[in-house]
Amino acid sequence: MSELVSLADRETPEIVRLRRDFHQWPELSFREQRTAGVIAEYLRELGLDVVSPDSMHGMWADLQAEGATKTLALRADMDALAMDEASSATKSDFVSKNPGAAHCCGHDSHMAMLMTAARLMATGEVKPRHNIRFLFQHAEEKAPGGAIELIEAGCLEGVDEVYGIHVIPPIETGKFVVCKGPFMAAADEIHIRVTGKGGHAAMPHLVRDPIVAAAHVITALQGLVSRRTSPLDSMVVTISTIRGGSGTTNVIPNDVELLGTVRTLNPALHEKAPGWVSDTAKAAAAACGCEAEVEYGLGYPVLVNDDGATATARECVRELLGESGLVETPMPMMGGEDFARYAELRPSCYVFLGVGSDSKGITSANHATDFDVDEAVLHRGTAWFLQLAVH
């Protein structure tokens, strides 16, 4: 292992301290006021000038390197999920103190890793070869996301490349996933209201049953995956919420509401999906004598890792940990991420760091109520940021 790994490992207590502080005080998208204050104060104490655009909690700070010819933006997201956290043996001492908010996706770790890297560079312990922009982004979890706002505020001006990292428990702890090309899916939202004519449940022939129609809509939408999409492509259409009825067993309601998501790694499919979903839902409902109103919310685009930036990201892992630090067969995933906004405008690479540990009982996936990370390997994320800076 390299000297940077050892140096970052020395900082594990600081990484853990920061991570646990953020973890106890999670804040939802577009509401990250305390979080932003902690980060801004930390950066200013390092002597960095913080740019915090009006009306948002995201920010950036620049570190200039002597003789540098390009600027790298290193990004960490800040917001928590709108959910309650379950206490567990691995984190009973620092569970969320904010009801309805929890860092169950790992953004607390991302901030801690990047803040520690910023301190090591700003204090001169690590001297970067490139100018570095430390980019802390609000509102990753809620579309349209904070990346758009920061980009409009100028966060990419003068930036040549962008890099980011995400902790993922199912990956072997301490290993990196670095994958070129499409890496994370476009993530859209669908809201479908199926309207019929309610009545007595014992006389279905006198009504136009929206529940049966909604069932047909759900089934028909799966045909978009199995029959409209090539088996060589990827697409997910999931209805995750069904709302309808009053709770009374003998009343058929007037309408049913369906909420869901559409995901794909193929930009061409992403363009076709809105029309496919709308046409299919309306036709399936009409076949049952009902109507379907479809609201299709475009979310994040496909996150495409640039070939050159991906090669750099992979080389940095090798320089830190050798070939064993990389997952042998990296695969994309269907989660969405608004880091894709940066990747549309600058050569970029987004990587995963494995933080699960069977021996420590850290096995739950991101967004689980008992999500946790193996804090003993978070320093590797800090080391990767440092290696990018000196590469």
Please indicate, yes or no, whether residues 252 and 200 belong to a single structural domain of this protein. Answer: yes
Say if residues 249 and 201 touch (Cβ distance below 8 Å). yes
Look at residues 254, 284, 300 and tell me which one is the last residue of a structural domain. 300
> Model confidence over 155-195: pLDDT tens digits?
999 999 999 999 999 899 999 999 999 999 999 999 999 99
DSSP at 70: -
> Model confidence over 62-77: pLDDT tens digits?
999 999 999 999 999 9
Look at residues 240, 272, 300 and tell me which one is the last residue of a structural domain. 300
Q: Tell me how far CA of residue 347 lies from CA of 79, 261, 368, in angstroms.
A: 25, 28, 32
Q: Rounded to an integer, what is the distance from CA 331 to the centroid of its chain?
A: 16
CATH number at residue 196: 3.30.70.360
CATH number at residue 50: 3.40.630.10
**To 10 degrees, the CA torsion angle through 117, 121, 124, 128?**
130
Please indicate, yes or no, whether residues 232 and 333 belong to a single structural domain of this protein. Answer: no
**pLDDT reported for residue 329:** 84
Say if residues 319 and 347 touch (Cβ distance below 8 Å). no
**pLDDT reported for residue 55:** 82
Both tokens assigned to 56: 């948002």
Catalytic residues: 300, 375
Is the omega angle on the peptide bond into residue 128 within 30 degrees of 0, that is, cis? no
Q: For the chain, how many structural domains are there in total?
A: 2
Amino acid at 183: F
Please indicate, yes or no, whether residues 61 and 157 belong to a single structural domain of this protein. Answer: yes
Please indicate, yes or no, whether residues 145 and 29 belong to a single structural domain of this protein. Answer: yes
**pLDDT reported for residue 89:** 60
Look at residues 258, 281, 300 and tell me which one is the last residue of a structural domain. 300
Range of the domain at 226: 186-300
Please indicate, yes or no, whether residues 307 and 160 belong to a single structural domain of this protein. Answer: yes
Partners of residue 357 on adjacent β-strands: 362
Of the candidates 268, 265, 261, the one whose C-alpha atom is nearest the C-alpha of residue 331 is 265
> Model confidence over 347-369: pLDDT tens digits?
999 999 999 999 999 999 999 99
**Alpha helices, DSSP H, located in the chain:** 3-10, 12-24, 33-45, 107-122, 146-152, 210-226, 267-287, 307-321, 340-345, 378-390
> Model confidence over 366-388: pLDDT tens digits?
999 999 999 999 999 999 999 99
Residues in the chain with pLDDT values less than 50: none
d(Cα 170, Cα 352) in Å, to the nearest integer?
A: 11
Please indicate, yes or no, whether residues 257 and 322 belong to a single structural domain of this protein. Answer: no
Instruction: Please name the helix (run of DSSP H) or strand (run of DSSP E) that holds residue 134, with its range, or none.
Output: strand 131-137
